[in-house]
Amino acid sequence: MKKVLSTPIKDEDIAAIRVGDVVYLDGYLVTCRDVGHRRLIELGRELPVDLAGLAIFHAGPIVAKDGDGWKMISIGPTTSMRMERFEEEFIERTGVKLIVGKGGMGPRTAAACRKHKALHAVFPGGCAVLAATEVEEIERVEWQDLGMPEALWVSRVKAFGPLIISIDTEGNNLFETNKAVFNAKKGPIIDRICQQVRFIK
Amino acid sequence: MDKHEAKRSLTDIMARFTSYAGKRLPTDVLGRLAALRQGEESKLSRVVFDSMFENLAAADNLDRPCCQDTGVIQYFVKAGAGFPLLGELREVLTEAVRRATREAPLRHNAVETFVEKNTGDNTGLRVPWIDWEIVPGDAVEIEVYMAGGGCSLPGAAKVLMPSAGYEGVVQFVFDVVTSYGVNACPPLLVGVGVSTSVETAARLSKLALFRPIGSRNPDPRAAEMEKLLEDGLNEVGIGPQGLSGNCSVMGVHIENSARHPSTIGVGVSTGCWAHRRGSIRIAPDCASYEILSHKEAVL
């Protein structure tokens, strides 16, 4: 059975979810990436969307005008690590409960997820049409002055996923664990290859 | 056909081909992804590969860009010296980008630097980026490439001292792929340039990404090194989306030049699994063309 989270997400909804679990989302998902984070944290501007209990998506979509509204054409995750500098404070200030993106995030985000009970999850990168078909409606858009990729697109989603949990509310960090494994493996492999590429004699 | 009509025809072909390349992956990439999918066993690897193929089918059916990040459009042109519209090609490709942006539609990805404003039509100062090579003949071969920000981020180049040897090249490739590469949507295609300086190595590393997957460098030692790097990186087991698995790369391609005796320039470029490359050969009449990258493609 699919594990589905619904917004507003409460602490108890996500307490038992662990890294490597696969979940889906019903409810509100708001895009927020580089400049959105910078405006709140560094420039001190108030976010035009109340994110308490909601989910954000590190993503810059392709949208098309659809009558008076907008239609989601293609929306996939962007590299979450770019937001690492801001995310700890972002979680604290907004009360966001689920951060969806691509690749891992660092120790400061993991600490904030533990302290404020939030999750980071990966939507498979490059799967942007799949994600767009899981968006029911774009309800509104804020900060359109930032252009299509950076604006805050407020979407209502249904069974949005797969979302692979990469940081849980205990602060476990799947990518940090994986990276340690990759780094441990790579040394001996490099040594072996180096023996075979001594072309300068 | 007069020059005006030829220009219109060429713009039309390139606008449609640019849109096409943003929606469907080349035949060789699809083949390699299918093979890598077979080799994966873990639950998360399978979840990711299933999503990838589901997504490609949806993009094809709905005729939409398969990844939302359609990049800053780049064209790598092999222009026959006798191609009749050589002087008009920049204008033609710029207009093709504007049209593809509206019609595909593509994401608005050109931000003017220093002004820091998105131009809204994917054109801007020196953008679309055009790389030129003049070759004998009167046809033109154009490679359109859309790299998202994610797989552009790992790009790196460095000049090594000769004492570092090819061992230094191996180390550099591994360092780039196992750090930034993890977040760049693996399994990656890795391009390596071996040359003299940063810009020559970097350019060659990019050109390496346009070689068909499975092809080998004509030099036996370079070919051997491609294979060693490919197998070695796969052994690290980065897996689809960096979630660990049996693969890390779709391939490693090396492009090289003669070098200065005092330096070894090394460059690394990475292409994500959604490697949106398209190559098209256009005849001097600017109306007939052959698509080289996508089997049975219809524009």
pTM of the model: 0.94
B67 touches chain A (CB under 8 A): yes
Residues forming a β-bridge with B156: B268
pLDDT of residue B62: 96
Q: Which residues of A are less than 8 Å from B58 in CB distance?
A: 129-130, 133
Cβ atoms of A20 and B47 closer than 8 Å: no
Pick from A147, A197, A199: CB nearest B118 = A147
pLDDT band at B144; cut points 50, 70, 90 = very high
Q: Which residues of B are less than 8 Å from A182 in CB distance?
A: 178, 182, 236-238, 244
- b or e along A155-171 (b: 16 or more beta carbons within 10 Å of the residue's beta carbon)? bebeebbbbbbbbbbee
SS3 label, residue B260: coil
| Separation between Cα atoms, residue B295 and residue B62, nearest integer Å | 20
pLDDT of residue B296: 87
pLDDT band at B158; cut points 50, 70, 90 = very high
**DSSP secondary structure string for all residues of A105-161:** --HHHHHHHHHHT-EEEEPPTT-HHHHHTTEEEEEEEE-GGG-TTTSEEEEEEEEEE
CB contact under 8 A, A60 and B68: yes
Q: What would the pLDDT profile of B233-266 be if each residue is shown by its tens digit?
A: 999 999 999 999 999 999 999 999 999 999 999 9
Q: Which residues of B are less than 8 Å from A149 in CB distance?
A: 107-109, 118
* Count, residues in chain B: 299
Phi, psi of A40 (to 5 degrees): -70, -50
- b or e along B167-176 (b: 16 or more beta carbons within 10 Å of the residue's beta carbon)? bbbbbbbbbb
Pick from A73, A149, A179: CB nearest B108 = A149
The closest alpha carbon to B104, from B10, B17, B178, belongs to B17
Of chain B residues 216-245, which have a CB less than 8 A from chain A?
221, 224-225, 228-229, 232, 235-238, 240-244
Q: Which residues of A are less than 8 Å from B54 in CB distance?
A: 127, 130
Q: Which residues of A are less than 8 Å from B59 in CB distance?
A: 74, 128-129
The closest alpha carbon to B187, from B266, B253, B269, B275, belongs to B275
Q: Does domain B3-23+66-148+276-291 have CATH number 3.30.1330?
A: yes
Dig out the tokens for B213 from the structure: 């997957």
> How far is CA B263 from its chain centroid?
27
Chosen from A38, A62, A181 to mutate, greatest number of chain B CBs within 10 A? A62
Chosen from A109, A129, A173 to mutate, greatest number of chain B CBs within 10 A? A129
| Separation between Cα atoms, residue B234 and residue B181, nearest integer Å | 13
Q: What would the pLDDT profile of B194-235 be if each residue is shown by its tens digit?
A: 999 999 999 999 999 999 999 999 999 999 999 999 999 999
Looking at the complex, report in whole angstroms how far the Cα of residue B177 sits from the nearest Cα belonging to chain A: 10
Amino acid at B194: V
Dig out the tokens for A76 from the structure: 């996939």
pLDDT band at B5; cut points 50, 70, 90 = very high
Q: Where in chain B is the domain with CATH 3.30.1330?
A: 3-23+66-148+276-291
Q: How far apart, in Å, are the Cα atoms of A102 and each of A170, B51, B100?
A: 20, 14, 27
| Separation between Cα atoms, residue A193 and residue B177, nearest integer Å | 16
Cite the active site residues of A. 37
Percent of chain A with pLDDT over 70: 100
The closest alpha carbon to A125, from B3, B149, B107, belongs to B149
Average pLDDT on A42-64 reads: 96
Average pLDDT on B11-30 reads: 98
Domain ranges, residue A50: 3-174
Q: What would the pLDDT profile of A76-133 be if each residue is shown by its tens digit?
A: 999 999 999 999 999 999 999 999 999 999 999 999 999 999 999 999 999 999 999 9
* Chain A to chain B Cβ contacts (< 8 Å): 186
Q: How deeply is A108 buried, as exposed, middle or buried, from its count of CB atoms within 10 A (0-12, 13-18, 19+)? A: middle
pLDDT of residue A1: 78
CATH number for the domain including A130? 3.20.130.10
Number of domains in chain A: 1
Looking at the complex, report in whole angstroms how far the Cα of residue A169 sits from the nearest Cα belonging to chain B: 19
Pick from A61, A150, A197: CB nearest B225 = A197
pLDDT of residue B1: 78
pLDDT of residue B120: 95
Q: What would the pLDDT profile of A138-166 be if each residue is shown by its tens digit?
A: 999 999 999 999 999 999 999 999 999 99
Cβ atoms of B247 and B240 closer than 8 Å: yes
CB contact under 8 A, B242 and A104: yes
Query: ipTM of this model?
Result: 0.93
- The per-residue pLDDT of chain B, averaged, comes to 97
- Give the CB-side neighbour count of residue B280, counting CA atoms within 13 A: 24
CB contact under 8 A, B237 and A185: yes
pLDDT band at B22; cut points 50, 70, 90 = very high
Looking at the complex, report in whole angstroms how far the Cα of residue B220 sits from the nearest Cα belonging to chain A: 12
End-to-end alpha carbon distance in chain A: 61
Residues forming a β-bridge with A62: A74
A62 touches chain B (CB under 8 A): yes
| Helical axes A84-94 vs A34-41, angle rounded to 10° | 60
| Separation between Cα atoms, residue B195 and residue A84, nearest integer Å | 35
Evaluate whether residue A179 is within a structural domain.
no
Taking 90 as the threshold, does the pLDDT of residue B123 lie above it? yes
Q: Which residues of A are less than 8 Å from B217 in CB distance?
A: none
| Helical axes B27-38 vs B43-62, angle rounded to 10° | 150
Q: How deeply is B276 buried, as exposed, middle or buried, from its count of CB atoms within 10 A (0-12, 13-18, 19+)? A: buried
